[in-house]
Structure 1
Amino acid sequence: MKKMEGRIVQGIGGFYYVKTEHGIVECRARGKFRKDNITPLVGDVVEIQMVSDKEGYILNIAPRKNQLIRPPVANVDQAIIVFAITKPELNRTLLDKMIVLSESNNIKPIICINKIDLGESDEYLKLVDLYRRIGYKAVATSAVTKVGIEELKSYLKDKTSFLAGPSGVGKSSIINSIQSNITLKTGELSEKLLRGRHTTRSVELISLDFGGFVLDTPGFTALTLDIEKEELKYYFKEFLDLQRECKFSSCLHVNEPGCSIIKAVEDKVIDKNRYISYLAILKELREKEKRRY
């Protein structure tokens, strides 16, 4: 039987479903991957050997341009970082941490502020404007009223994207709004806990009619940043030009004399909440470093 190339769109119980030009092929991985401790991931570009019209096995995995442990995906272009403006309350530090996590994995972050139909103020407009001024793509959406969905679709076109964010922010509802033939199970928000139930069972790469792929992923709140504390400042875009003016090149922008970032926060050139996020993430990296030694 012939060989062909495709992309893993779903993996369940040791079976990998590979999208090829001839349709979906159910595959198992060859024993050599287990021997070499390599696990095929959703998003992998693979070479497969056909054993029947709809079955085959994975021969080779192409080199990955990036890989995340949670969610377990490979070769993604961008992360749509989804937070609700309310219910659950928006956690700015977690949002900024997800941006750093994306960029440190060579994945472009796009910020999506959802549930704007529930907001009682225009706070979401200020947030979207802030992140756009910093240099990120940002969009405000409502899966209920469909506001912002067309703009979001323009960002998804011809890209491989995944939706990330805490449970209950409306990730599945957004995907359902993007394309009519996608019906992902959505969970009811627990009024008591104000925290969504995990409703997504496995990671799946969904083909979009207008071009590209999107993944729906579980919670994505247990984040591990694999960077050194000295690197963090380079993942805050608004710091990049200003920090060249710091008195010390090793400045971590905490309490060093002659720090241009602290002055910029005081002068309201840099958003105070972004700086608070930076300090919180830096503290976490410092604690992680202490545990390592």
Structure 2
Amino acid sequence: MPEGVIIKALSGYYYVKPLREGAIASEVTAVTCRGRGVFKNRGITPLVGDRVIYVLTENGEGTVTEILPRISELIRPTVANVSLAVLLFSVREPDMNLNLLDKFLVHIEHSGIETLIVLTKQDLAENDQETTNQVKELYQRIGYEVMVTSSLTGSGSEDLRKRLSGIISVFSGQSGVGKSTLLNRIVPGLLLETGEISLRLGRGRHTTRHVELMDIGEGGFVADTPGFSQLDFLELEVDELSACFREFVPLAEQCKFRGCSHLHEPDCRVIEALEAGNISMSRYEHYKLFYQEMKDKKRRY
């Protein structure tokens, strides 16, 4: 039976791209499939990105009969088998939001997926390279891969396209940072709808309404997902938060108290590193904010 990858799920239909010798056959039209009733009975939902076994029916459509094991699964957006999360944050319009960036990073770290930070709209900050350089250096020092792009000039687009080849990646980030514009630059002819920025609100309109894998060539597929203005921590426990800050992890093992919250305990190596200037104050402040937010949410539920 043929094997394929779900590239879109809409109104009960799954659009499956056939696999050829283990790779997605980009030039082949997706097969429109229904899922087996047994999935619903078992509470199983096929996801975009799933590798599946399917059978063709007489009308040229198909039925998904089996979902193969997943290497990863994102809850929001719901995408399976993602290898790389691409977090896009603009340098200008809207202005850089490190609080939201760190919140995204917490969620991605918790999911165990590799992360690439892409700073967009560099053309709007040509007279102020300092902010871009500071942000890039901060996150590279922590261990994140960072790229700087400009959809207007095309700078960085080719490097990003090469980075995304051969894998399924997911695009997320603050609304209005130019996700669709950047994808249009990477894949000429894609013609994704783009939204203008509201200067009054400082954020863009959501232009993406469902998750879909888009073929960017060379075996690469990107899930363009709805923009988010906020994220919650309902799927994360308070004691898991510090492990989602990469720079805290090696230090936490040396703290005097097991399960140290890194807020007030004596002989806390994280606090010592902060006081020595080895941990960013902005990152630590965001950790404290997230910690309190999670505590408050747990009390309400």
Give CA deviations for 1:119-155 in whole Å, capped at 9, x if unaligned.
2412111111211111111111111111121222232
Query: What SS does structure 1 have at the residue aligned with 2:294?
Result: helix
Residue 121 in 1 paired to residue 128 in 2?
Answer: yes
Q: 255, 258, 269: which is aligned to 1:249?
A: 258
Residue 40 in 1 paired to residue 46 in 2?
Answer: yes
Structure 1, gaps ≥5 residues long: none
Distance 2:128 2:60 in 1: 53
Distance 2:58 2:217 in 1: 28
Residue 184 in 1 paired to residue 192 in 2?
Answer: yes
Give CA deviations for 1:221-275 in whole Å, capped at 9, x if unaligned.
4424322211211121111222333222221111112222112112211111111
Distance 1:253 1:100 in 2: 16
Distance 2:225 2:59 in 1: 30
Query: What SS does structure 2 have at the residue aligned with 1:113?
Result: strand
Structure 2, gaps ≥5 residues long: 20-27
TM-score scaled by structure 1? 0.93
TM-score scaled by structure 2? 0.91
Q: In the alignment, which residue of structure 1 is the partner of 2:16? A: 18
Distance 1:230 1:37 in 2: 30
Shift of 1:92: 1.0
Q: In the alignment, which residue of structure 2 is the partner of 1:259? A: 268
Shift of 1:90: 1.9
Distance 1:97 1:215 in 2: 20
Give CA deviations for 1:71-130 in whole Å, capped at 9, x if unaligned.
121111111001111211222121111111112112111111111111241211111121
CA contact (8 A) 2:4 2:17 kept: yes
Residue 288 in 1 paired to residue 297 in 2?
Answer: yes
Residue 90 in 1 paired to residue 88 in 2?
Answer: no
Give CA deviations for 1:2-47 in whole Å, capped at 9, x if unaligned.
x311000011211111000453100111222222222211111111
Q: Report the RMSD for the aligned CA atoms in angstroms.
A: 1.6
Residues 4/53 of structure 1: CA separation in 2 closer, same or farther (3 Å cut): farther
Residue 218 in 1 paired to residue 216 in 2?
Answer: no
Query: What SS does structure 2 have at the residue aligned with 1:253?
Result: coil
Identity %: 43
Shift of 1:290: 2.1
Distance 2:64 2:169 in 1: 24
Q: In the alignment, which residue of structure 2 is the partner of 1:276? A: 285
Higher mean displacement: 208-217 or 62-71: 62-71
Q: How does 1:53-202 map to 2 (within 5 A)?
A: 54-119=60-125, 120-122=127-129, 123-202=131-210
Shift of 1:53: 7.0
CA contact (8 A) 2:161 2:216 kept: no
CA contact (8 A) 1:93 1:280 kept: no
Give the partner amino acid of 2:156. G
Residues 4/222 of structure 1: CA separation in 2 closer, same or farther (3 Å cut): farther
Number of matched residues? 290
Residues 222/41 of structure 1: CA separation in 2 closer, same or farther (3 Å cut): farther
Higher mean displacement: 27-36 or 7-16: 27-36
Distance 1:221 1:43 in 2: 24
CA contact (8 A) 2:165 2:217 kept: no
CA contact (8 A) 2:243 2:249 kept: yes
Residues 54/224 of structure 1: CA separation in 2 closer, same or farther (3 Å cut): farther
